[in-house]
Chain A
């Protein structure tokens, strides 16, 4: 077997809160920044600060990444801050599984599974797509590192997919 071109690691419990709202509403931006310390991301962007991040998922949906233990509080806090504003804030930490793909071949791993021009994926962009047969979202989370989020029920499938794709050689 060839040397792996990247190391695949489950990222462990990751707090996540889904927020659906009018993203152009100033109250929404204030609540999100208050909860995460991150500025509002533009379309398809992910903004990170101080171990937290906010990702633009669709024109009316954000995904807030926070420490796992803080997620219920963040969801409740958003609901409180946005009382009177039409929105839906839900904790989805346990509905997802997150992996990091680290190494010189991280891009190749993605290129084997996702119909995405990963070579041209800029820092700070989150791309929602599919990994083989399941939905996924990915972004550059560090030097030579890509983070990938999928649904919890298929975590085993996705982990194995990534491991198989990480078998060398490089593309």
Chain B
């Protein structure tokens, strides 16, 4: 049972109070975009064994979406943060680097 702290209201919610939303920090491609870019936006999802950034909604709580950085192998949570950002905050990236020195780093 994953337990994630919603950064919007501060509740440490268990998985049954949350709704998963897949990979975070996707860039939307709309009309005018190439087939390749659109395909990648629609279908190509990272599925790493290790550090991953995800969208979660505190569905049975404050209703807000937030983002989480966690390890898909050990389920260690490096942090949760606001959904109103295009990339993970520096302090979370620093924390991940310290804990996972071989991590390739975040890229858009």
Contact = CB atoms under 8 A, between A and B. Distances in A.
Indicate if A touches B (C-beta under 8 A). Answer: yes
Interface residues of A, number: 12
A4 B16 CA distance: 28
Contacts of B16: 115, 130
Given A115-B14, A115-B17, A129 B61 contact: yes
B62 A128 contact: yes
A59 interface: yes
Which secondary structure dominates chain A's binding surface? strand
Contacts of A129: 13, 17, 60-61
Interface of B: 8-11, 13-14, 16-17, 60-64
Contacts of A135: 60
Interface of A: 43-44, 57-59, 61, 115, 127-130, 135
Contact of B64 (A44, A58, A115, A127): A58
The list of the 7 closest CB pairs from A to B, nearest first, reads A58-B62, A130-B60, A128-B61, A115-B14, A59-B8, A135-B60, A58-B63
A103 B9 CA distance: 29
Contacts of B63: 57-58, 61
Given A115-B17, A130-B16, A130-B17, A59 B62 contact: yes
A14 B33 CA distance: 51
